[in-house]
């Protein structure tokens, strides 16, 4: 009986360990993929030449978030890059690149903006916790929160379209689409969106998202670099 109980305990512990390892792998892979995506979103347009710096910044942020979750008193905390803040920062970066400062390189201005936003956000959270005013969030009207989330979705959609085909949700983007309506990259994006929607309705989203992004990224890059390298629609700089 004792041996049987030990065997059951070992099997249960092994399954728990396997579950923890798989969860950690999925979360880690998702964090890296999201970090790369948000880097491309924030450093788009005239800042796209600084993508390597953006990747370094977002990956460091992801690593810091992982360490915070590991060292925090609450073991269930999961930290990493966030779509809401990244989309808002992307809008600020676009405004910054549109009005360059004399004598200041765009990269230096972008990094300074990210640093100021990060430090001010951290200080705000610290003051909220220090003075115990977190309950004030209850007094924020629902319309304000809904408007913020709607604008975040707009920025994410506009940034994604700008990354895919250089056609953001703006008058300039609409004019570019009318001037050159045939955009196979947009067709591919819509097909991938439909496939992702179909998969998430039938399987766990926690498993579908990282797997889908990884497989789709490899497939798209393979097509761009091997099957149609001379087509204007398949150029990597689009």
For every residue of the chain, DSSP letters joined together read: -HHHHHHHHHHHHHHHHHHHHHHHHHHHHHHHHHHHHHHHHHT-GGGGGGHHHHHHHHHHHHHHHHHHHHHSS-TT------HHHHHHHHHHHHHHHHSPPTT--HHHHHHHHHHHHHHHHHHHHHHHHHHT-GGGGGGS-HHHHHHHHHHHHHHHHHHHHHHHHS--SSHHHHHHHHHS---HHHHHHHHHHHHHHHHHTTS-HHHHHHHHHHHHHHHHHHIIIII-TTSGGG-TT-
Q: What is the DSSP letter of 161?
A: H
Average pLDDT over residues 15-35: 73
- Among 77-86, 141-150, 225-234, top mean pLDDT goes to 141-150
Q: What is the DSSP letter of 50?
A: G
Average pLDDT over residues 207-230: 77
CA proximity to 81, closest of 111, 47, 54: 54
Using pLDDT thresholds of 50, 70 and 90, give the confidence band for residue 30.
Answer: confident
pLDDT value for 238:
41
pLDDT value for 2:
42
Q: Residue 169: is it exposed, middle or buried by C-beta count within 10 angstroms (0-12/13-18/19+)?
A: middle
Q: Which two tokens stand for residue 222?
A: 């393979």
Collapsing DSSP states into helix, strand and coil, what is residue 193? helix
Average pLDDT over residues 221-238: 63
Q: Which two tokens stand for residue 217?
A: 């990224």
Angstrom distance (rounded) from CA 90 to CA 96: 10
Separation of first and last alpha carbons in the chain: 66
Non-local CB neighbours of 213 within 8 Å, separated by 6+ positions: 33, 37
Q: Which two tokens stand for residue 65?
A: 């978030």
For the stretch 58-116, pLDDT in tens is: 888 888 877 777 777 766 666 777 777 887 888 888 787 777 777 788 888 888 888 89
> Count of CB atoms within 10 A of residue 97's CB?
17
Could you give the percent of the chain with pLDDT greater than 90? 2
pLDDT value for 123:
92
pLDDT value for 148:
80
Average pLDDT over residues 130-142: 81
Average pLDDT over residues 154-165: 79
Instruction: Report whether pLDDT(3) > 60.
Output: no
For the stretch 121-131, pLDDT in tens is: 889 888 888 88
Q: Residue 224: is it exposed, middle or buried by C-beta count within 10 angstroms (0-12/13-18/19+)?
A: middle
pLDDT value for 233:
53
């Amino acid at each position: 009986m004792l041996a049987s109980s030990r065997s059951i305990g070992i099997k249960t512990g092994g399954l728990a360990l396997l579950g923890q390892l798989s969860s950690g792998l999925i979360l880690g892979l998702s964090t890296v993929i999201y970090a790369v995506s948000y880097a491309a979103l924030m450093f788009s347009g005239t800042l796209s030449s600084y993508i390597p710096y953006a990747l370094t910044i977002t990956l460091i942020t992801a690593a810091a978030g992982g360490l915070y979750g590991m060292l925090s008193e609450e073991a269930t905390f999961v930290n990493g890059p966030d779509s809401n803040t990244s989309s808002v920062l992307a809008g600020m970066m676009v405004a910054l690149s549109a009005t360059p400062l004399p004598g200041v390189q765009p990269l230096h201005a972008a990094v300074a903006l990210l640093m100021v936003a990060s430090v001010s956000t951290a200080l705000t959270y610290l003051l909220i916790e220090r003075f115990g005013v977190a309950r004030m969030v209850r007094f924020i009207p629902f319309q304000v929160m809904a408007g913020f989330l709607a604008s975040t979705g707009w920025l994410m959609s506009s940034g994604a379209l700008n990354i895919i085909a250089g056609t953001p949700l703006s008058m300039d983007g609409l004019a570019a689409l009318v001037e050159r309506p045939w955009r196979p990259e947009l067709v591919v994006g819509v097909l991938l969106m439909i496939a992702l929607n179909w998969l998430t309705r039938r399987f766990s989203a926690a498993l579908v998202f990282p797997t889908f992004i990884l497989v789709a990224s490899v497939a798209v890059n393979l097509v761009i670099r091997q099957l149609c390298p001379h087509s204007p629609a398949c150029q990597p700089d689009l």
